[in-house]
Structure 1
Amino acid sequence: MNRKRIGSIAAIVMLGAIAGHAVASPTCTRQPESQWLSEAEMQKKIGQMGYKDIKVFKKTTSGCYEIYGRTGDGRKAEVYFNPVTGAVVESNVD
């Protein structure tokens, strides 16, 4: 292989790794769903934490509840919650 091709392949692999990391959700729990708070209980808890205008509320494949909404002061938020305890595992706020 020539150097240009090797450089291109390396760049593609690095970009793929970075992109994969950016969209990967954290692992929140390995507990079975029977141990999780119900969606209604979790949504109530999220509201009590001050999150509002929730546009997306979903279960992730990595054992989290995830929301897209706003913080109490109106900033955009993407938040991952432990579905057993309701604790915030990761928060991305703009």
Structure 2
Amino acid sequence: MTSEHGPAPSIQDDFLQTLIRDKTTVNVFLVNGIRLSGQLAAFDQFVVLLESGTGVQLVFKHAISTVLPVNGRSLAREPTGVPVSGDKPNPVRGGVR
């Protein structure tokens, strides 16, 4: 998607740049269930470099399911109370027994 002023900003790029700039420790969950931990060193269109105590790993983005900051700080905006991903309220049926 482009606009009159150039390409639209990439949410993914902004997120990864913030993690690199802040030297945030992350858990990277792969689609096969494996968890990798470390700090992101760099990324491009296809891969991320993850530094840890065991060295540097080149991880292909297509193998990544989730990138989760370990420090517990959210990089996202404040919660709005709006359901996400189609979440639906879970009404309690009936009374307490």
TM-score, normalized by the shorter chain, greater than 0.5: no
**Whose relative contact order is higher, 1 or 2, with alpha carbons under 8 Å and at least 6 apart?**
1
Query: How does the TM-score come out when normalised to structure 1?
Result: 0.28
Query: How does the TM-score come out when normalised to structure 2?
Result: 0.28
Greater fraction of residues in helix: 1
